[in-house]
Amino acid sequence: MSANRRPAVRRVDPRLEIMTETIERLVPGATPAFLSVTVTETLPDTTGHDGEPHKHTWTGPPQALAERLFTALHGRPRTEEPASPLAEAEGAKRRRDIVGEASALMSAGTALESAPWYPCRPGDIIHLHYPPAGDFPAFGETYLVGDAGDGLMSLQRLAHTWPEDWSDGSGSGFLVEGADCPIYDLWFEAGPHLLTVVRDGRPVHVGAR
């Protein structure tokens, strides 16, 4: 079963998670469940019955503030599982949306080629995550980008946590003997949201969690 055909599951955009965690860390060591954020406007040259300046306040949990910031920057956060570029293009094709089909593929290509870590380098580690679906638990595959010679790169499988039904190795077809971009099929068919790219021991691309 390919990654882009798995049922949707509820997810949180990692950018929203990062915003939330950053706000929570404003109080070192705090328990997130006990935190709240208060934004106060103090009106100058005004006083109340208590002799203090008039104030307007907003109070809410870190998550609420993070969601407001995220929406202002990126639009409302998506809670459904993102689709792979190929799945988006196929959906547009079924709707006879030629512009949408081309846009899905072109946008994915631009996102890949404009990534600060692109192109891949020999020694890069690529992790592919498969979300749980039906009777299948979550599992994954780990690949190594190798030097195939003549300026080309390969993609070799290092490890996997396949279900038993995949023990014959038929479950994945992302091995590459030599290509300019060995993760091209992974990027378009599985989707960048399911990929993690590690370079020199550091993650340089982390898909949705």
**What is the C-alpha separation between 138 and 178, in angstroms, rounded?**
29
**What is the C-alpha separation between 122 and 145, in angstroms, rounded?**
5
For 204, the 3-state DSSP assignment is strand
Which token pair is 152? 């080309």
**What is the C-alpha separation between 125 and 84, in angstroms, rounded?**
20
Closest CA to 121 of 177, 178, 182, 173: 182
**pLDDT tens for residues 80-129?**
667 777 777 788 788 888 887 888 788 888 888 888 899 999 999 999 88
Residue 14 has pLDDT above 50, yes or no: yes
Task: Quote the pLDDT of residue 78.
Answer: 63
- Beta strands 55-60 and 125-130, pairing class: unpaired
Share of the chain above pLDDT 70, in %: 82
Residue 143 has pLDDT above 90, yes or no: yes
Q: What is the mean pLDDT of residues 145-174?
A: 79
- Beta strands 125-130 and 195-199, pairing class: antiparallel
Closest CA to 181 of 122, 107, 119, 123: 119
| Of 203 and 92, more confident | 203
Q: Bridge-partner residues for 91, per DSSP?
A: none
Distances (CA, A) of 23 to 37, 57, 81, 193: 9, 18, 25, 24
For 115, the 3-state DSSP assignment is coil
Which token pair is 6? 């798995």
Task: Quote the pLDDT of residue 152.
Answer: 93
Helix axis angle, 62-74 to 14-24, nearest 10°:
140
User: Could you tell me if 204 and 198 are in contact, meaning their C-beta atoms sit under 8 angstroms apart?
Assistant: yes
Task: Quote the pLDDT of residue 125.
Answer: 95
User: Could you tell me if 157 and 126 are in contact, meaning their C-beta atoms sit under 8 angstroms apart?
Assistant: no
